[in-house]
Amino acid sequence: MGKKRIIQKSEEELIKEREKVDAAVSRESKVTPSRKIKEGRVYISSSYNNTIVTLTDPQGRVLTWSSAGSIGFKGTKKATPFAASKVAEAVSQTIEKLGIEKLNVFVRGIGGGRESAIRSLAAKGFEIDSITDLTPVPHDGPRPKKVRRV
């Protein structure tokens, strides 16, 4: 077993990320200057290979997004619960900057990061109104095999 490495961001990367968040906040304030957004939707897409977290306003316009790959995880580490919690923390920073208090969470997929992403959002102190599972479920299955003729 090798050493475990936790990704540490340099100051330059942190400054770039802050600028990106501030740009998203200012862009959103240009769209809705008169009212402050108090409610939002968080979509968590968790597959066997990656976890993607998207923040939208109640109308469905994307405010910000993040994925395990964009944070810096590579290969099979992208699908871990730890990576999913880090993705949710990255999105929660933007949520705090925007001043959103209530969240509706929509989860899709069967990956390992489903619960950990929700738990890390709840641990940040946001009021979660609902958690909805949007995972597609097959209703009738594939077509059966033809009868074998001998």
The owner of tokens 């977290």 is 53
Alpha-carbon distance of 141 to 68, in angstroms, equals 32
Does residue 18 register a pLDDT over 50?
Answer: yes
Does residue 26 register a pLDDT over 90?
Answer: no
User: How many residues are present in the chain?
Assistant: 150
The fold adopted by the segment(s) 42-133 is Nucleotidyltransferase; domain 5 (3.30.420)
Region 10-29: mean pLDDT is 73
Instruction: Kindly list the distances between the CA atom of residue 72 and the CA atoms of 12, 50, 68, 78, 91, in Å, as whole numbers in the listed order.
Output: 15, 12, 7, 9, 15
Domain ranges of the chain: 42-133
Model confidence at 34, pLDDT cuts 50, 70, 90, reads very low
Alpha-carbon distance of 68 to 114, in angstroms, equals 13
Name the CA dihedral angle for 86, 118, 27, 60, rounded to a multiple of 10 degrees: 140
Residue 8's closest CA among 51, 71, 76, 61? 71
